[in-house]
A and B are shown apart, each in its own frame.
Chain A
Amino acid sequence: MIGRMLLRWELQQSLRSYWFLANAGVFVVGGLLLMVFGQTDVSVLGYRGFARALAALVQLALFFVPLMALFPSTAAIAGDRELGTLDYLLAQPVTRGEVYSGKWAGVTAAMVLSLSLAFAVTGSIAAAKGVPTGLVAALLGLTVLLAMAFVSAGMWISAAAASRTRAVSVGLTVWLVLVALGSLGLMSAFVRWGLPAGWLQAWALLNPVEAYRLAAVAILSPELELLGPAGAALLERFGRTGLVMGATGSMLGWAVVGYAAGRWVFGRAGA
């Protein structure tokens, strides 16, 4: 009951913020542009062309969705603590666990809503062009999992950080390491020091961004050049279903472990 009240409140707050609206807007516009570019492919290649356009949407998602998730989640606890509103909330007959889970669920629900809106627009066009709606729904599911992984990580950072600025800074560093530098930096390191290929494959599965990319591409278009060397090796080793399940499990693991760790840190703060 209390958790539901806090969820609704956090959701309303998130939906009122310009950050969510702007990101949902960028995502929709980006998706539409990709659809328009996909038209050329469609006329020649039919359904596979749109799947490629959806793969480009995946590319957009793996840069944007972690950012969309990290900004509100890193501010969720640290920001309220800084404003002094968190103490007032915790002074009510609520538990720290209820407050944490309410905030987590609220930010996640806002993410699900904005992603659903974006996918509804782009997906309906794709569906009209013959892409199975199940494919679009699967992609939405994976994107929601990616968002959940980063909401959990962001809330954990927020619970542990001394200030909002520090929480957002750490969140951006995590984004930079996992999204921007992750694949390129690691690939360079592997080439430079000749690390075993298994490490690169493990990194590809353990990094939620890479896991999302692999699962999405494997669902949409399991072509070697889109999966990359680590993904291709994983595909060969585990097969398509195994790769999708492993990658999905990795994102789910991030979401669950991040949530549990953040809740533990937040609970300890009052001890």
Chain B
Amino acid sequence: MINANRLSKSYGDHVVLRELGLQVDRGERVAILGLNGAGKTTLFRCLLGLTGFEGDLQVGGHLAGPHGREARRLIGYVPQQPPRFDLTLDGFIELFSALRGGSAPDVRKRLDGLGLSVREHGRKSLRDLSGGMLQKAVLGIALGAEAPVLLLDEPTANLDAGSRREFLAALGRIDPATTLLFASHRLSDVEALADRLLVLSEGRFVYDGRPGQLWRLAGGIELRLMVPSDHVEALARMLESRSGVRFVRANGTGVLVRVEDGRELDLLLAVREAGIPLLDFRTHPPALEEVMAHLSEAE
């Protein structure tokens, strides 16, 4: 669905994308991860034709770029900063669904499905809607014309925790045939949505694989173990003595522990054998900086 071959982009002497190659199939959920300035947004700008580039870039067999109207027709776009036009929500839906060749009633129905009632908020100015509501409206427009590709540029970056959860849940409900390409620097978003991860660093892909695999390679998995408060100290002591444990941090409700790749199950069994009552546990991906540091070392 998306094909890039030797895609390069420079601003003067500053090279942002270096001869990238990329192939994304229909229905794939691909996250692009990278620190600020890695080239994620530039890659998206190339796909949307907002900037020129060198190399070959196609969406659904159509050339992307400034003249790539047909390529853009296949892409529903959700930017990091939702656009606050001087329009009401109704006006926004009418105008942009028409520009995309979709129908406003269909977008309204989709927005209802995403938990945004157009009947209730339609007359409100976009400038008066919360970030989460506006981001949902933009998602509804993107989905409205049944675009086969959804491009999301750090869509949850400016949302509060509640709106972020709702937005991710809404994304989880989209048609499985839709190709999803999204940029993020939140590993939790990547884990929630992606089945393939690309890591972009200094204009090149330095990782292409499954997200979980990278977490393991990049210094292990973090486990949060919740136990009764009178067992916290004993648990922390027990964990510190085990091999494969990278660090242990205790607080009143439990222990945060990082273990090497594949050791998490052993650890849970050891807790049980030690007779410590485990109330709950959660896994967390490592921090983005650790992932990037690992990839730099691997190079």
User: Is A9 among interface residues, defined by CB-CB distance under 8 A?
Assistant: yes
Q: Are B99 and A5 in contact (CB under 8 A)?
A: yes
User: Is A184 among interface residues, defined by CB-CB distance under 8 A?
Assistant: no
Give bound CA distance, A5 to B101, whole Å. 12
Q: Are B51 and A270 in contact (CB under 8 A)?
A: yes
How distant is B134 from chain A, measured CB to nearest CB, in Å? 11
User: Is A196 among interface residues, defined by CB-CB distance under 8 A?
Assistant: no
Give bound CA distance, A90 to B51, whole Å. 11
Q: Which of B52, B69, B79, B84 contacts A95 (CB 8 A)?
A: B69
Give bound CA distance, A91 to B77, whole Å. 7
DSSP class of A's interface residues: helix, strand, loop or mixed? Answer: helix
Q: A270-B49, A270-B52, A271-B66 are in contact. Are A94 and B83 (CB under 8 A)?
A: no
Residue of chain A at shortest CB distance from B96: A92
Chain B residues positioned under 8 Å from A271 (CB to CB): 52, 66
Give bound CA distance, A89 to B99, whole Å. 9
User: Is B50 among interface residues, defined by CB-CB distance under 8 A?
Assistant: yes
Q: Are B83 and A88 in contact (CB under 8 A)?
A: yes
Q: Which of B45, B51, B69, B83 contacts A93 (CB 8 A)?
A: B69
User: Is B284 among interface residues, defined by CB-CB distance under 8 A?
Assistant: no
B contacts, CB < 8 Å to A: 45, 48-52, 66-67, 69-70, 72-73, 75, 77, 79, 81, 83-87, 95-96, 98-101, 138
Q: Are A84 and B49 in contact (CB under 8 A)?
A: no
**0/1 interface trace, chain A 205-240, chain B, CB 8 Å (1 if under):** 000000000000000000000000000000000000
Chain B residues positioned under 8 Å from A94 (CB to CB): 69, 72, 99
Q: A92-B99, A93-B100, A270-B52 are in contact. Are A84 and B69 (CB under 8 A)?
A: no
19 pairs from A and B in contact (CB 8 Å cutoff)? A9-B95, A13-B86, A83-B83, A84-B83, A87-B48, A88-B77, A88-B83, A88-B138, A89-B83, A90-B48, A90-B49, A90-B50, A91-B49, A93-B70, A93-B99, A93-B101, A270-B49, A270-B66, A271-B66
Kindly state the interface size class of chain A when it binds its partner: 20 to 34
Across the A-B interface, the 3 shortest Cβ-Cβ residue pairs: A270-B66, A93-B73, A88-B83
Chain A residues positioned under 8 Å from B86 (CB to CB): 13, 16
Q: Are A88 and B79 in contact (CB under 8 A)?
A: yes
Residue of chain B at shortest CB distance from A90: B50
Give bound CA distance, A83 to B96, whole Å. 17
How distant is A235 from chain B, measured CB to nearest CB, in Å? 47
Chain B residues positioned under 8 Å from A2 (CB to CB): 99
Point out which of A16, A85, A89 has the most chain B C-beta atoms below 10 A from its C-beta. Answer: A85
**0/1 interface trace, chain A 4-38, chain B, CB 8 Å (1 if under):** 01000100010010000000000000000000000
Q: Are B72 and A91 in contact (CB under 8 A)?
A: yes
Q: A85-B83, A85-B85, A96-B66 are in contact. Are A91 and B52 (CB under 8 A)?
A: no
13 other A-B residue contacts (CB within 8 Å) besides A91-B50, A93-B101, A270-B52: A9-B95, A13-B86, A16-B86, A85-B84, A87-B50, A89-B83, A91-B49, A92-B77, A92-B99, A93-B70, A93-B99, A95-B67, A270-B66
Chain A residues positioned under 8 Å from B72 (CB to CB): 91-94
Give bound CA distance, A271 to B138, whole Å. 26
Q: Which of B70, B75, B84 contacts A91 (CB 8 A)?
A: B75
Give bound CA distance, A94 to B75, whole Å. 12
Q: Are B99 and A270 in contact (CB under 8 A)?
A: no
